Structure 1
Amino acid sequence: MPDDSHRPAPLPLTADEYALVKALRPAMAALTRAFDTNLHPLGLTHAEYIVLMFLSEAPDRALRLGDLAGLCHQSPSHTGRTVQRLQSEGLVVREQCSQDARSFRATLTDAGLARLEQAWPLHITGVRHRLFDQLEGIDVGKLAAAFERIADTTD
């Protein structure tokens, strides 16, 4: 075990820093609930919407499930269950990879793309109302860059 006795004590968080740390988790949970509620009339969850979105942006509208899980910041098993639900509705096709029989890939169907295009306005309206309207006066570009740095150091 390393000897930490010579290290200086960590600086305590300021009141604003502590408030931010405390607010992050409930804010993310509230956003997820709100986005789920917005998408519910179309039979989608936010997690399903994100899967459809990443597939729509991929070459040939297809990704290996492991790569899709990484993009979605979800476990492979969670992504696999999401893809199975979407496949049961005909929105994606899950098939074995031709290059690696141990892997599977998901491909967005035309019906999946149509559902995504139908959901997009609802989702964007919710994102603007629930997120960006609350960030008035904040440099969103800097905030996005900071969150990307955080994600890069925790993966």
Structure 2
Amino acid sequence: MSLSAAHDAAWRGFLRSSALLLRVLDAELRAEHGMTHRTYDALVQLSEAPDRRLHMKDLAAALVHSASGLTRIVDGLEKSGYARREPDPANRRSTLVVLTDAGLAALKKAWPTHVRGVQRHFADQMSPEQARVLAEVFGAINADLEEG
């Protein structure tokens, strides 16, 4: 079985642009805020969680990036004062990661840099109609993968 030429080009384009885009967004966050995109991603996930806290396993599942190295990411968040670990009061064997006020402040400071980069390197490269098509396609892919 092989992909059609159009599907192969779409797949290769997706892989290449995803890698390049994340690399550029990471470089911008590092340069302006001393923060990696992985750190930014973790701060976003924690900020959107109920009470700004997630179990380690749920944070791993929520990350846009690979969850490998999650312990290092959380160690870095703690060292920066952006998050802290707490035992889950309902299950003392489970660990919660809690976003601190300093972490929320750092996220708010970095957010404009991230949005500016996404606008420039992603959104500005397509028309509103192309964006709707991409949202539909990625929505279908995500739904299929999340079901499985």
- The TM-score normalised by the length of structure 1 is 0.84
2:85 to 94, 109, 112: 94
SS of 2:140's partner is helix
- Alpha-carbon distance in structure 2 between the residues aligned to 1:74 and 1:35: 13
- Do structure 1's residue 32 and structure 2's residue 22 form an aligned pair? yes
User: AA paired with 2:130?
Assistant: D
CA 1:76–1:97 in 2, change beyond 3 Å: closer, same or farther? farther
- Which residue identity lines up with residue 31 of structure 1 in the other structure? L
Q: Map of 1:1-150 to 2, 5 A cutoff?
A: 10=1, 12-40=2-30, 41-73=32-64, 76-150=67-141
The alpha-carbon deviation at position 75 of structure 1 amounts to: 5.4
Amino acid at match of 2:42: V
Listed one character per residue, the Cα deviations across residues 77-129 of structure 1 (whole Å, up to 9, x for unaligned) are: 53232111111110001122111222211111011011000001000000000
- 2:77 counterpart letter in structure 1: L
Q: Which residue identity is paired with 2:3? A: L
Which structure has the larger Rg?
1
SS of residue in 2 equivalent to 1:93: strand
Q: Deviations over 1:45-74 (max 9, x none)?
A: 111111101111111111111111111155
Identical residues among aligned pairs (%): 37
Counterpart code for 1:87: E
Q: Determine the C-alpha separation between the residues in 2 that align with 1:17 and 1:138.
A: 20
Task: Tell me the CA shift for residue 153 of structure 1.
Answer: 2.4
Aligned counterparts of 1:75 and 1:100: Cα–Cα separation in 2 = 26
Q: Which has the higher helix share?
A: 2
Contact 1:66–1:76 (8 Å) recurs in 2? no
In structure 2, do the counterparts of structure 1 residues 95 and 32 end up closer, same or farther at CA, with 3 Å as the change threshold?
same
- Whichever residue aligns with residue 42 of structure 1, its letter is H
**Using the alignment, how far apart are the partners of 2:68 and 2:10 within structure 1?**
31
- Structure 1: how far apart are the matches of 2:73 and 2:34? 13
Number of equivalenced pairs: 145
C-alpha RMSD of the superposition: 1.8
Describe the SS at the equivalent of 1:21.
Answer: helix
- List alignment gaps of at least 5 residues for structure 2: none
Give ranges in structure 1 of 5+ residues lacking alignment: 1-9
Is the 1:95–1:105 Cα contact (8 Å) retained in structure 2?
yes
Letter in 2 for 1:24: F
Q: Which amino acid aligns with 2:50?
A: P
